[in-house]
Structure 1
Amino acid sequence: MDAKTIIKPQTGADLVVQTLENRGVEYVFGIPGAKIDAVFNALVDSSIQTVVCRHEQNAAFIAGGIGRMTGKAGVALVTSGPGVSNLVTGLATANSEGDPVVALGGAVATAEALKQIHQTMDAVPLCKPITKFSAAVPAPEAVGEVVANAFRAAESGRPGAAFVSLPKDIMTASARGRLIVPPRFYGSGPADGQALAEAGKLIAAAENPVVVLGLLSSKPVNAAAICKFIEHNHLALVGTFQAAGAVGAHLLSNFGGRIGQLANQPADRLLDAADLVVTIGYDPVEYDPSLWNKGKDRPIIHIDAVPADLDNCYCPVVELTGDIAQTLDALTSLTGRPAKPPISQAILAEIRKQRELQVAEAAAKSGTPIHPLRLCYELQDFIGTDVTVCLDMGSFHLWLARYVYSFRARQILMTNGQQTLGVALPWGIAATLVRPSEKVLTISGDGGFLFSAMELETAVRLKSNVVHMIWIDGTYNMVGVQEVAKYGRESGVKLGPMDPVKYAEAFDATGMMINTPDEIIPTLKRAFDAQGPVIIGVNVDYSDNHKLFEEVHEGSFN
């Protein structure tokens, strides 16, 4: 070796990046700054693509989308102070939605942590309540340990968010620790044998068991096991919004529809009639048990990766904790109901008739602005197996969640945990990276769109083939409808006008408008034929939105 050759010592930042590479991370999303620039510098020499975002919250949203679609933690990287505090909503959303995310935040040097200097912030306690794991790297030799454990927390059990604070001096110091490689063989197995046997007895003895699918049901390996379990036992089922796509089209006759937020759906009638409820991958944040199980004296079987959060309205008699797919396979081998119960059959037959009438009614909606049902009708036919759909939050979300079906796990990404505005476009950017061969359609209201619309520039820079549809009515309608129901008037919901075509063109994207129902499909086809991001605006008739909130159980408004 040449005597003048200089061997660069491994720094804490180098070890962080090596850990990310070892975990198979392909993208890091974030915004740089002086307290974290050592990690950004180390990324230049790595296999990881750095994607600069326009806001840290959206970096966390994109990472959450990566996590939901791959099952592996997406990574956000931000600087100290407001860089970290801007992550909070994104991390809270990921944690509520069960999306694995690892967020790395810069920090002042350890010796300055208690001083009131530029961008000082005690970020670990800030992030602790809204993550599964929140810790600071205390010394150079601990870099690998802390980051590795953050990934383990984010991806294990019920997935969620993890946060690691990276002090500036530790990132530039020589790293004496080693790369922590996760075990080659790990994971939980099926639930306890005695619990499985008891669950089998309850299912066999029940007159009208009903299955409730939750967010972890839509994990592809779990969805496959669920389909076998449902078919084998001829069970009726309902699903929360986040469980979309967990069962295939061949089980549509068993499916009562989606439940969530408001207890006023046909699927709620099916669930009300159950004398045994089997929940799979369900978290109460998806649909409060007080809305569907208050005052009911019936057994519940809880099948999940983690134990249930017990409350007055949700107290399982049997808890099957472990790997969901393996547990369901074991339970399927212990059970075998011969036919669909008569009560469920009658309710499901009525629901099928309602669906047929709904489709006919939707197809006949020809006015302008365009009725949500007509949009749902057209989108149902348009969304094939090669389209990923990402939904924001708002009135449009309820229409689509109730009336547009999916039969592929995690094809439609929905939010109902924190009900965070602005998730759709960032999730769509994630989908274009994870599923580059698929069409990606994201949908928001005109209120939610501007929460993350600045990431249109990121989508243009990445040449993302994402089509974003904005349902326009000029208000925060979902809030307004509930205010009228409670107080007889609206407050604080009016918005000013925005021109989606001009907005798109200002970012060098393509802008389009849908003006009549007959233009919906032709416009979508033109949008997907275009290269790069496309924004589509459509004025929507929300005059029937009050029907979304009618005949609700007490306590449904929140």
Structure 2
Amino acid sequence: MESPKHAGDIAVSVSQAYGVNTMFTLSGGHVFPLYDGAVHQNMRILDVRHEQSAVFAAEATARLTRQPGLAVLTAGPGVTNGVSGVATAHFNGSPVVVLGGRAPRSRWGSGALQEIDHPPLFEPITKLAFTGSGADSIGQDVEMAFRTALAPHRGPVFLDLYMDDVFSPSPEYVSETLTPSPLEPDPEALAGIARLLAEAERPLLVLGSDVWMERAEEAARDFAEEWRLPVVPNGQGRGILPSGHELLVTRARGAAFGQADLVIVVGTPLDFRLAYGWFGGKEGAPLARVVHIADAPSQLATHTGLSASAAGDLSVIFWGLSAACGSAGVNPKAYEPWVSRLSEAATAAAAGDAALLRSDADPIHPMRIYGELNKVLADDAVVIGDGGDFVSYAGKYVEPRRPGNWLDPGPYGCLGTGLGYAIAARLARPSSQVVLLLGDGAAGFSLMDVDTLVRHRLPVVMICGNNGMWGLEKHPMQMLYGYDVAAELQPQCRYDQVVTALGGGGELVTSPDEIGPALRRAFDSGVPYLVNIATDPAIAYPRNTTGV
């Protein structure tokens, strides 16, 4: 006779109905029934060495597959160790469900092991944080978590389960797996945006991560190409227009933002990465009109004046906006001088950087690393950035050829995402190159999870730009105070030997002519492999103060 199902079985069953096939976790007794349910139902259990990596892996799964990610964390410190991962998912709009263990209901308030009320900790950084109401309602609770995470605007949900509830029998539950209805945009709002385009001479289109998450990348590209709009991508918007596309003007970003008279920002907040929504005003140009388009009204900017805005399903918006442009008499040929000017600026910028991408400087200039990496990256490579100065170069010099192939921590800027992201990328894209770019500071947060890569046979190429410092802090402190403190790391620290000790491969590179061969060895190795490259500590990534 078959044993009655417990609450862990039901939770796993509902998760599978929403497309989850991997549970990211670190072992803990409070959540054993969830593991048992995964075993019963053939859900993959991938255990990591720190709970933050479990949440980061779930978040990257959501961002790469556009399906919800699942992390299971044991009670108390297991849950609190995942807070930064949940905050990152919140700022990235990633549909992640975190199921937490909770001290037993029968002992609540008497000082049980790891007893703490988790949901109040998560309320500011989730769409919903709540405690399961009982074993009999586990199916409804888990379904509510997934449905809420997936509804526009997507985001993380936290649900913790009393230990004695999750161990208890639970009735069968059939998930409804309802998908939210697309939010229809206001036609008048689209008509207003089209009129602004008809009046503009120097428009610019910014495509952010939500364009990818909304599966609107084809509609976005069609819109840009039909109306001849130059494009600057942001976050996972990178690759919607592939490297080399005539309308892709990332390398002329400063001129584009500084001289545009109309900037249409789609699927990303008007935050510090986009000068808080202040564009134009350079070289005699007036301030630009700004249009903000989002998947939900809650995401529209309220901190700066907008000329127009629209919210709704992003594909529907692009289609509707295209029709509205036709009615408004938008003439794409009118933008050709502007597009040509930006294209020339981008070409000039690339030509100006060519020498550094081939630099033979010793110590190694970070740009030489990207010059060599671009030679060996495949079209479908997934590139992950986890670091400060070193990864900033990647954002400038690595142009994805396909959408959905770039991951960075996003606007929250949390270091330590890299190993969790790499774990998820290898599972989500088993036949693609997976490249993790680490600053030496970032490496210290999560390098122990190379053990996870090794145990689960997940080959990843890791490249560490090792300048022996916290570069984002050292150089500014010296500029401000004439000295720096708490900014030094061990020069040429052997992070590669950490990886080899954990069962992977690695090597230290100190000469620029060794970079290319080392990268080829890493890709050919078939194991987690760290190329630890000693870079010039005197070089800081050049930044301006405008955010653009």
TM-score, reference length from structure 2: 0.92
Shift of 1:156: 2.6
CA distance in 1, matches of 2:431, 2:109: 49
**1:461 — aligned with what?**
455
CA distance in 2, matches of 1:220, 1:164: 25
Shift of 1:330: 1.9
Give yes or no for contact 1:270–1:344 (8 Å, CA) kept in 2: no
**1:161 — aligned with what?**
156
Shift of 1:229: 0.8
**2:466 — aligned with what?**
472
1:315 and 2:309 aligned: no
Letter matched to residue 26 of structure 1? N
Q: Deviations over 1:436-455 (max 9, x none)?
A: 11111111011111201111
1:149 and 2:144 aligned: yes
CA distance in 2, matches of 1:9, 1:69: 36
CA distance in 1, matches of 2:258, 2:535: 33
CA distance in 1, matches of 2:230, 2:407: 23
Give yes or no for contact 2:76–2:115 (8 Å, CA) kept in 1: yes
SS in 2 for 1:21: helix
Q: In structure 2, which of residues 498, 517, 528 is the aligned counterpart of residue 533 of structure 1?
A: 528
1:274 and 2:260 aligned: yes
CA distance in 2, matches of 1:309, 1:21: 29
CA distance in 1, matches of 2:255, 2:369: 26
Give yes or no for contact 1:189–1:327 (8 Å, CA) kept in 2: no
Q: In structure 2, which of residues 349, 354, 357 is the aligned counterpart of residue 354 of structure 1?
A: 349
CA distance in 1, matches of 2:113, 2:280: 51
1:197 and 2:191 aligned: yes
Shift of 1:285: 4.3
**1:552 — aligned with what?**
545
Identity over aligned pairs, percent? 28
Shift of 1:537: 0.6
1:328 and 2:318 aligned: yes
Shift of 1:189: 4.7
* Structure 2 runs not aligned, ≥5 long: none
| CA 1:354–1:293: 2 relative to 1, 3 Å | closer
CA distance in 2, matches of 1:350, 1:527: 35
| CA 1:310–1:514: 2 relative to 1, 3 Å | same
| CA 1:528–1:361: 2 relative to 1, 3 Å | closer
Q: In structure 1, which of residues 243, 247, 257 is the aligned counterpart of residue 250 of structure 2?
A: 257
Shift of 1:376: 1.7
CA distance in 2, matches of 1:493, 1:291: 32
CA distance in 2, matches of 1:331, 1:145: 39
Shift of 1:284: 3.1
Q: In structure 2, which of residues 418, 430, 435 is the aligned counterpart of residue 441 of structure 1?
A: 435
Letter matched to residue 212 of structure 1? V
CA distance in 2, matches of 1:532, 1:182: 38
SS in 2 for 1:358: helix
Give yes or no for contact 1:190–1:324 (8 Å, CA) kept in 2: no
**1:303 — aligned with what?**
293
| CA 1:510–1:408: 2 relative to 1, 3 Å | same
**2:509 — aligned with what?**
514
Q: Deviations over 1:485-533 (max 9, x none)?
A: 3333212111135313321221111112323222222221111111221
TM-score, reference length from structure 1: 0.91
**2:39 — aligned with what?**
44
SS in 2 for 1:99: coil
Give yes or no for contact 1:515–1:538 (8 Å, CA) kept in 2: yes
Give yes or no for contact 1:211–1:277 (8 Å, CA) kept in 2: yes
Give yes or no for contact 2:494–2:508 (8 Å, CA) kept in 1: no
CA distance in 2, matches of 1:499, 1:476: 16
**2:123 — aligned with what?**
128
CA distance in 2, matches of 1:220, 1:239: 15
Shift of 1:326: 2.0
CA distance in 2, matches of 1:292, 1:298: 7
| CA 1:292–1:308: 2 relative to 1, 3 Å | farther
**2:270 — aligned with what?**
284
Q: In structure 2, which of residues 205, 220, 242 is the aligned counterpart of residue 226 of structure 1?
A: 220
Matched residue count: 538
Shift of 1:308: 5.4
**1:262 — aligned with what?**
none
Letter matched to residue 194 of structure 1? E
Give yes or no for contact 2:257–2:280 (8 Å, CA) kept in 1: no
CA distance in 2, matches of 1:488, 1:244: 38
CA distance in 2, matches of 1:24, 1:347: 42
